[in-house]
Chains A and B, each alone.
Chain A
């Protein structure tokens, strides 16, 4: 076979190869994007199925209290490593009727001589109940800044959904308090 034919064949191939490579590169870019898309996708999945105890959003149900039913809600507080604040709920647990709006206070105290800021991260167990736990107001929505020696009471308001599965009799709301002073702008620490 003459060299020419081989070369012609190669050219024909190389054209389609160029197109193929473009498609494959596009796939690479798409999959790289998909990796990042997993982040919001995961958020959505968590919200929908209560994965990892991510709690549900605003309460959409009617404000009718189910007096016949009572659920035990426990409150947990954990300090992340290196966090020196005193941080605890006013009470370890309370009885709650589904549909009723409830409030619990958490106490935080900064014992150091520095202004500090903290972020509380909530988590609900059992995970399958998390989707039925609605926080209407929570100190975990924002960062908390405490001046040296300052103590505050931080409220969380919540409603347990009337649709909570019947076999769930208790819920645990756990907060972990992280020290985020290092990543808070000095202005926010000072001005409060």
Chain B
């Protein structure tokens, strides 16, 4: 039990540090959309109605508890019903409720109006990441948690946006009605961003709708809010709102990237083209270990010239380049190189230095292989 004083010191220091941070947020964010502000106002209205009723009821109660005690010599009264009072306190709450229901209904109807969107985005929940697809734009990507494992395991200090940061945020333009079509690929998730007052369940097999129109550029953060398994707490939502011009630039860039890659992937490659590209890519990515002539540096780095992998079944060859070989220096290139480069390198390796297998691996084959193992 030696650790106790240290633990308590730690807690004390931590509390002080907390006080410095002074992050004692007690209320909902008013958010950055018309809807979120309406919801906020509704929330505050109902909160204050509850406070007033609470003060009245508890006031009477505490007054009674102070004044009507036996120790004050109070003799108990005997009344035990009063029809008029009982009717009153049934009717008055009913009227208050109707008063609450009116603005609530109005807001709800507004929220449900998903018509006339200017941009449609499909949001798909996966265990445990989000996928965004800009409909009709050929732009889509996964959005993964970007917080390093070391921070979660307390081996590194936690950043400001701990657990609320992703590798690729959802980017949308300011002042634009964006409609989200929300679904899931495995279990139920829920896509939620408090600043937008959007929260909608992502249900496998079904598509849900929601929308937003954000007034100011900025970065808004949320999280998955439906228990979806082990890493439910580790799949944040980050929305980056750009000006319309910046968004157009961003979208054009993403489209160009996607298009360029798609073109290369879907293009009908000839053996010569693949060999030429493959030789170049091989020299930058592979030659450091396997050497320019494919002879390698055994035993650490095996030769590719005449190797059973380079002249064996194609699938195994693709597999080792994409996934690497655990326990050795062979890295997984699946995420590091494009499908085009991987295909070119493999084709080159199978047909250079006397490895005359004669077959050709196209970018499509690599893509198919990758998709098959997802």
Contact = CB atoms under 8 A, between A and B. Distances in A.
Interface of A: 52-53, 74, 76, 78-81, 84, 86, 92-93, 111-112, 121, 123-127, 167-170, 172, 174, 176, 178
Interface stretch (B121-129, B161-169, B296-304): B121-129
B372 to A, nearest CB: 5
Contacts of A121: 205-206
Given A167-B115, A174-B183, A76 B122 contact: yes
Contact of B186 (A81, A126, A168, A170): A81
Nearest to A168: B115
B185 A79 contact: yes
A81 B124 CA distance: 11
Contacts of A174: 181, 183, 206-207
A55 to B, nearest CB: 12
A169 B209 contact: no
B208 A125 contact: yes
Nearest to B210: A125
Contacts of A172: 120, 181, 207, 209
Contacts of A53: 206-207
Name the residue among A111, A121, A125, A167 with the largest chain B CB count within 10 angstroms.
Answer: A125
A92 B122 CA distance: 12
Interface string B103-129: 000000000001111001010101100
B374 interface: yes
B135 interface: yes
Given A76-B181, A81-B186, A176 B135 contact: no
A92 B372 contact: no
B204 interface: yes
A56 B115 CA distance: 21
B371 A52 contact: no
Contact of B371 (A80, A81, A84): A84
Contacts of A125: 114, 181, 207-209
A81 B202 CA distance: 14
B208 A176 contact: no
A169 B135 contact: no
12 contacts: A53-B206, A53-B207, A76-B181, A76-B183, A78-B124, A80-B185, A81-B186, A92-B136, A111-B368, A168-B115, A172-B207, A174-B181
A169 B115 contact: yes
Contacts of A124: 207
Nearest to B124: A78
Contacts of B204: 80, 176
Nearest to B186: A81
B185 A112 contact: no
A84 B135 contact: no
Closest 7 pairs (CB-CB, A-B): A174-B207, A81-B186, A111-B368, A121-B205, A81-B185, A123-B206, A123-B207
A93 B136 contact: yes
B118 to A, nearest CB: 12
B371 A176 contact: no
A10 B270 CA distance: 97
Contact of A170 (B115, B122, B126): B115
Contact of B116 (A80, A84, A169): A169
Contact of A76 (B114, B126, B207, B374): B207
Given A81-B127, A84-B372, A92-B135, A126 B185 contact: no
B200 to A, nearest CB: 11
Contact of A123 (B120, B135, B185, B205): B205
Interface in B164-217: 181, 183, 185-186, 203-209
Given A76-B135, A93-B136, A176 B183 contact: yes
B77 to A, nearest CB: 39
A176 B208 CA distance: 13
Contacts of A167: 115
A94 to B, nearest CB: 11
Contacts of B126: 81
Contact of A52 (B117, B122, B181, B206): B206
A119 to B, nearest CB: 10
Nearest to B206: A123
Contacts of A112: 372
A177 B277 CA distance: 36
B205 A176 contact: yes
A133 to B, nearest CB: 12
A181 to B, nearest CB: 14
A80 B371 CA distance: 13
A158 to B, nearest CB: 16
A174 B180 CA distance: 13
B209 A126 contact: yes
Interface string B348-374: 000000000000000000001001101
Contacts of A84: 371-372, 374
Contacts of B371: 84, 86, 111
A115 B250 CA distance: 41
A172 B116 CA distance: 13
A132 to B, nearest CB: 15
Given A52-B203, A169-B115, A172-B120, 7 more contacts: A53-B207, A76-B181, A81-B126, A84-B371, A123-B207, A124-B207, A176-B204
